[in-house]
Amino acid sequence: MSNVASDFITEPNDERRQQIAKQLGEFIDPDKVRIDEESLLGHGCDWTKLYKVNPLAIVFPKTVEQVQQLVKFARAEKIALVPSGGRTGLSGGAVASQGEIVVSFDYMNQMSDFNPVDRTVVCQPGVITQQLQDFAEEQCLYYPVDFASAGSSQIAGNIATNAGGIKVIKYGMTRDWVAGMKVVTGTGELIDLNKNLLKNNTGYDLRHLFAGSEGTLGLIVEATMRLTQPPKDLSVLVLGVPEMAAIMEILRAFQNRMPLTAFEFFSESGCKLTTAHGLQRPFETETPFYVLIEYENQSEQDAETAMEVFEYCMEQGWVVDGVISQSESQAENLWALRENLGECCAPFTPYKNDISVTTSQVPGFLEDIDAVVSQAYPDFTLVWWGHIGDGNLHLNILKPEGMEKEEFFSKCQAVNKQVFEIVERYQGSISAEHGVGLVKRDYIQYTRSDADVALMQGIKKVFDPDNIMNPGKIFQS
């Protein structure tokens, strides 16, 4: 799989690396230029382990000026750049396979200029998500974008992949929390996007173009993030659901009565995994699907309303059993049933798919995909979970014991075409929140038309005329 234009250096050797390191050391602190094998392998990829890792060098700039100099250098030398954050991506967006220079923001990780009226804080690109969440808490505020890798993912990476997670139903995606950002384009120019304004209708909002651009338009060198009021006392319900179609009725019944902060689901196969890892079942009844609902207790009335809706759902037969948290620790335990799924799947080398449709279509969509994969590989275990209130499903296919990883992955990939044809038929997305990177690149036409991709390619040329910014990610470039 070629992911860099053919005139790039594709096979760096030691001599070439030494030479480049010397040149880079002229404008980046020499101890922040690394060409040792550990650094190259460690910083040259993300959580996907599917691609050859072969960067030319890893650099750790400390200032915006150094980033600009680096881009100008890379442009002059026709060397591609791969931005690197917390490297927690699942789509190969931060993989350097073809002699690229990896730009790590590990040493640009400070926060500054907190403004309590605007509720904004300026972040360098390498600020860790959790660091921002903790800072917000210290200010009695809240940064609401949250997901499993919050402890290591970095803020610029979150923006570049428009990270979602478990609170999207109430708080939206990362793009919704960026007041402004500074970016260095493929020409080395520094552009200030939106100046942190709440309202600014002066032409195209390029902030939104960078959110989800996966480093293909330029490097995010600063982001001013918005914070909000923390949620009040949260309650968690887990409900046992006999049929997928009922989940949509439950969603509608709750949303019509009260705002929700989360609406998640997981399959019984998932429940089996987490309970095998020491968690308690939410209740004795075993059901094919479970829904996890979180809401804010803004008044005493809310608990009553939730109980009324729960009882209504029981009467309708949509729910056959349920439990509601009575304390913060119980809420945490219930959340663990959903949140520990990724970790519990990991030993089974899961093949992951992150797909979405409009919420109302989820039941038929899930059924169709489940049928296709189960028919092709009746021995594979399918674990479903996801942010079902957003129409976002995570399908995890577990590797049967004894099967070679290569054989397993190639079998999963063989069924991809059928899965994505169903996605296309439902007008869905082949990547709801993980991004495209390399993993989904050759399937993008199932969600975006050729004309649509051509527009993206044209836009990339405007920002990156020499095709040095993470080339080959999202689409061929």
Residues 438-477 that bind a second copy (CB under 8 A): 440, 444, 447-449, 451-453, 455-456, 458-459, 461-463, 474-475
Query: Tokens 């931060």, residue?
Result: 94
Stretch that binds a second copy, among 99-107, 235-243, 357-365, 374-382 (CB under 8 A): 357-365
Give the other-Cβ count within 10 Å of 9's Cβ.
17
| Interface residue with a second copy, options 219, 357, 383, 439 (CB under 8 A) | 357
Within residues 257-276, the interface with a second copy by CB under 8 A covers: 259
* Smallest separation (angstroms) from a second copy to the CB of 10: 25
Using alpha carbons only, give the angle 466, 155, 175 rounded to the nearest 5 degrees. Answer: 80
**What is the bridge-based pairing of β-strands 262-267 and 101-104?**
unpaired
Q: Of residues 74-103, which lie at the interface with a second copy (CB under 8 A)?
A: none
Q: Compare residues 106 and 214 and give the one whose CB is closer to a second copy.
A: 214
* Residue 130, both tokens: 């959790």
Residue with Cβ nearer a second copy (75 or 434): 434
What is the C-alpha separation between 5 and 444, in angstroms, rounded? 19
Rule CB under 8 A: say whether 13 interacts with a second copy. Answer: no
In 3D space, the residue among 58, 28, 25 whose CA is nearest the CA of residue 42 turns out to be 58
Question: In the complex with a second copy, which residue's Cβ is closer, 149 or 274?
Answer: 149
Least distance between a second copy and beta carbon 292 (Å): 17
As a whole number of angstroms, the distance between CA 254 and CA 170 comes to 13
Total chain residues near a second copy (CB under 8 A): 85
Asked if 307 touches a second copy (CB under 8 A), the answer is no
Total Cβ atoms within 10 A of residue 343: 13
Tokens at residue 317, please? 């037969």
Q: Encode burial over 117-144: b for 16+ CB neighbours within 10 A, e otherwise.
A: eebbbbbbbbbbbbbbbebbeeeebbbb
Q: Which is nearer to a second copy, 127 or 432 (CB)?
A: 432
Question: How near is the Cβ of 113 to a second copy at its closest, in Å?
Answer: 11
Minimum distance, C-beta of residue 301 to a second copy, in the bound complex (Å): 6
- Indicate the residue among 402 and 458 with the shorter CB distance to a second copy: 458
Contact 153, 129 (CB under 8 A): yes
Q: Output 293 or 334, the one with its CB closest to a second copy.
A: 293
**Residue 419 Cβ vs a second copy, minimum distance, rounded to whole Å:** 15
Distance in Å, CB of 86 to a second copy, minimum: 17
Cβ-contact 197, 180 below 8 angstroms: yes
Residues 111-170 that bind a second copy (CB under 8 A): 115-120, 140, 161-162, 164, 168
Token representation of residue 75? 């442009």
Write out the binding residues for a second copy, residues 389-428 only, by CB under 8 A.
390-392, 427-428
Figure out which of the listed residues 97, 129, 213, 396 binds a second copy, where binding follows CB under 8 A. 213
Q: Which residues contact 213 (CB under 8 A, 6 or more apart)?
A: 160, 474
Residue 347 in the binding site for a second copy (CB under 8 A): no
Q: Among 104, 325, 429, 467, which residue sits at the site for a second copy (rule: CB under 8 A)? A: 429
The single residue listed with the structure tokens 């999207």 is: 168
Question: Which residue from 412, 436, 438, 468 is in contact with a second copy, where contact means CB under 8 A?
Answer: 436
Residue 428: what residue type?
A: G
What six digits make up the tokens of 225?
Answer: 């993030």
The answer to whether 321 and 311 are in contact (CB under 8 A) is: no
Q: Do residues 102 and 43 touch, judged by C-beta distance below 8 A?
A: yes
Q: Within 183-212, which residues bind a second copy (CB under 8 A)?
A: 185, 189, 191-193, 195-206, 208-209, 211-212
CB of 185 to a second copy, least distance (A): 7
Please say whether the dihedral angle defined by the alpha carbons of residues 231, 235, 238 and 241, taken in this order, is positive or negative. negative
* Interface with a second copy, residue 316, by CB under 8 A: no
Based on CB atoms, which residue is closest to a second copy, 83 or 428?
Answer: 428
End-to-end CA distance of the chain: 13
CB contact set of 138 (below 8 Å; sequence gap of 6+)? none
Minimum distance of a second copy from residue 447's CB (angstroms): 5
Query: Quick one: 316 or 374, whose CB is closer to a second copy?
Result: 316
Q: Phi first, then psi: give them for residue 75, nearest 5 degrees.
A: -65, -45
**CB 209 to a second copy: min, Å:** 6
